[in-house]
Amino acid sequence: MEYQFELVGKIGSMALIRKEDQDIDYNIFARLGAELRPGMIWVTSGATEIGRLDYMKRTGCELCGDPEQDKTDYSSQGQAILMQTYRQFVRPEYGLRQILVEHTHFNDPEKREHIRMLLERAARQKTIPIVNYNDPVSDEENRKMELAARRQTGAEVHECVDNDETAAVIASLVHAKTLVLMTSTEGIYQDSKDPSSLVRDVVGPDLETVEAQVRRLQEHCVGASREGANGARAKLEYAMECVRCGTRVIIGHARHHLSDLVEGRVPCTRIGIE
């Protein structure tokens, strides 16, 4: 099977933060920067949390207004820092291109094709796309209304506020060989409280076998790493959409090198047809 891109990757917000120090984890950015290269697409969370930490450092307090408005304000402050930090650590000969997306870009065929062509040009032009959901201009109430209207027509609907979904939609859009979801855990567990219950392989000879394993595993998935995240159950759902398109999915800890996750040299969860 021919693939347009070798890899689409995504990293979650909490994987970019040293929680005990309330600061950016620059070691994570340094490891990623050493491995990111043209031909990859990188989907990143982190703008809201990084913006929150930056605001606190500068003012000594957190925002205490409407939660949705606070998220908007934090993310708009964090976007610049997020891109600046990637630029600091990605190899200097590679260009970076920030791509801020919203659900409407993937629910509209013309906009979706525009994004696909942009990503393909980036690979040819030796640059790395850094993709994030455009939280500063996204209003939850309006978004929910738009999506509900689309569902009533029977149209395909992508919300993409969770960057796991954004990464999965992009991986399917560009027909990527591998999707890597970097998180703050080693992967998917049978029991989230038992590290020894890590599920390493969710594989099979055909789509039906893999999907049956995913459905059984979803029954054990509860909770999420932070408020507002959709958690392991949603990760598996997004992964399944990619597997249907022929993409292999890897879910693993952000402390590992990207190449070690791809090559299976470290603990992680691998999902796909073999």
Q: pLDDT per residue over 32-91, tens digit each?
A: 999 999 999 999 999 999 999 999 999 999 999 998 899 999 999 999 999 999 999 999
Residue 154 lies in a domain: yes
pTM for the whole structure = 0.87
Query: pLDDT tens digit string along 108-122?
Result: 889 999 999 999 999
CATH number at residue 223: 3.40.1160.10
State residue 51's pLDDT score. Answer: 97
pLDDT of residue 225: 45
Who wins on pLDDT, 157 or 267? 267
Confidence of residue 144 (pLDDT cuts 50, 70, 90): low
**Distance (Å, rounded) from C-alpha 27 to C-alpha 136?**
27
Q: What are phi and psi of 133, to 5 degrees?
A: -70, 140
Q: Which two three-digit tokens encode residue 63?
A: 């925002």
Which stretches of 21-83 are assigned E, i.e. beta strand?
23-24, 40-44
The Cβ of residue 140 has, within 10 Å, a number of other Cβ atoms equal to 13
Does 60 fall in a domain? no
Q: How confident is residue 184, by pLDDT bands cut at 50, 70 and 90?
A: confident
In a domain, 57, yes or no: no
Across the range 226-234, mean pLDDT stands at 63
Residue 55 in any domain: the answer is: no
Is 118 part of any domain? Answer: yes
145 part of a folded domain: yes
- Evaluate whether 39 touches 123 at the Cβ level (below 8 Å): yes
Q: Is the pLDDT of residue 188 over 60?
A: yes
74 in a structural domain: no
197 is in which domain, residue-wise? 5-46+96-273
Structurally, how many domains does the chain consist of? 1
Domain assignment present for residue 180? The answer is yes
Residue ranges of E strands in 72-200: 95-101, 127-133, 176-183
